[in-house]
Chain A
Amino acid sequence: MAAIERGDRQRRDDAAAAGSLLAAALALPGVLPATAHAQAAPDKGIFELQYLSYRDWQPGRDRMKVDAPAFYALVPLSDTWVVEGGMVYDAMSGASPLYFNVLSGASVGDYRTAGDIKVTKYFGDYAVSVGAFVSSEQDFLSRGASVNVQLYSEDRNRTWTLGMAGTNDRINAINGVAPNSSRNSLEFLVGVTQALSPNDIVQSNLTYYTGHGYYSDPYKPLDTRPTTRETWAWLTRYNHYFEDADATLRLGYRLLFDSFGSDMNTFEVAWVQALPWGLTVTPGLRFSTQTAADFWKNPPFPRGYREGQDYTADTRLASWGAITAGVIVGKTLWDGWNLSLRADYYRQDPDWQIFGTGSPGIQTFSARWLQVNVTKDF
Chain B
Amino acid sequence: MPMQRIRRTFRAMAAEHTVELAAVDPAQVHAAAQAAIDDVLRIEAKFSRYRDDSVVTAINRAAGATAVAIDAETAALLRYADQCHALSGGAFDITSGVLRRAWDFRRTPASLPDPATLAAAVALVGWDEVEWSERAIRLPRAGMEIDFGGIGKEYAADRMATICLDRGLRHGLVNLGGDVRALGPQPDGSPWRVGIRHPRVPGAAIGGFDLAEGALATSGDYERFIEVDGKRYCHILDPRTGMPVAHWQSVSVAAPLCVAAGSCATMAMLLGPDAAPFLAAQGVRWLGVSADGAIQGT
Taking Cβ atoms with an 8 Å cutoff, the residues of A that contact B are 16, 19-22, 24-35, 197-199
Contacts and interface: CB of A to CB of B under 8 A. Distances in A.
A19 B83 contact: no
Contacts of A197: 72, 134-135
Contact of B72 (A29, A33, A35): A29
Nearest to A15: B83
B142 to A, nearest CB: 29
Given A24-B80, A25-B80, A31 B158 contact: yes
A20 B282 contact: yes
A199 B75 CA distance: 14
Secondary structure dominating the interface of A: loop
B162 A30 contact: yes
Nearest to B159: A30
Nearest to A28: B76
Contacts of A24: 79-80, 83-84, 87, 260
Given A22-B256, A22-B257, A22-B282, A33 B83 contact: no
Contacts of A22: 255-257, 260, 282-284
Contacts of A26: 257
Contacts of A20: 282-283
A29 B162 CA distance: 10
Q: Shortest 5 CB-CB distances between A and B: which pairs? A: A31-B158, A25-B260, A24-B83, A33-B165, A22-B260
Given A19-B87, A21-B84, A21-B87, A28 B264 contact: no
Interface in B70-128: 72-73, 76-77, 79-80, 83-84, 86-87
Contact of B282 (A21, A31, A32, A35): A21
Contact of A27 (B80, B159, B163, B281): B80
Interface in B143-202: 155, 158-159, 162-163, 165-166
Interface in B259-298: 259-260, 263-264, 281-284
B166 A35 contact: yes
Range, interface on chain B: 20 to 34
Given A21-B282, A197-B72, A198-B134, A33 B166 contact: yes
Contacts of B165: 33
Contact of A30 (B87, B158, B260): B158
Interface of B: 72-73, 76-77, 79-80, 83-84, 86-87, 134-135, 155, 158-159, 162-163, 165-166, 255-257, 259-260, 263-264, 281-284
Contacts of B166: 33-35
Contacts, number: 71
A52 to B, nearest CB: 40
Contacts of B155: 28, 31
A28 B80 contact: yes
Nearest to B79: A27
Contact of A16 (B86, B263, B283): B86
24 contacts: A16-B87, A19-B281, A21-B87, A21-B255, A21-B282, A22-B255, A22-B256, A24-B84, A24-B87, A25-B80, A25-B158, A25-B257, A25-B263, A26-B257, A27-B76, A27-B79, A28-B158, A29-B76, A31-B158, A31-B162, A32-B257, A197-B135, A198-B134, A199-B134
Contact of B260 (A21, A34, A198, A199): A21
Given A19-B87, A28-B76, A28-B155, A33 B162 contact: yes
Contacts of B79: 24, 27
Contacts of B72: 29, 197
A197 B73 CA distance: 11
Q: Which of A16, A34, A198 has the most CB of B within 10 A?
A: A16
A19 to B, nearest CB: 5
B159 A31 contact: yes
Given A16-B86, A19-B281, A19-B282, A28 B162 contact: no
A197 B79 CA distance: 14
Contacts of B159: 30-31
B134 A28 contact: no
B77 A28 contact: yes
A201 to B, nearest CB: 14
B134 A16 contact: no
Contacts of B162: 30-33
Contacts of A27: 76, 79-80
Q: Which of A31, A35, A199 has the most CB of B within 10 A?
A: A31
Contacts of B264: 21
Nearest to A33: B165
A26 B263 CA distance: 13
Contacts of A25: 80, 158, 257, 259-260, 263
Contacts of B260: 21-22, 24-25
B164 to A, nearest CB: 9
A28 B259 contact: yes
Nearest to B264: A21
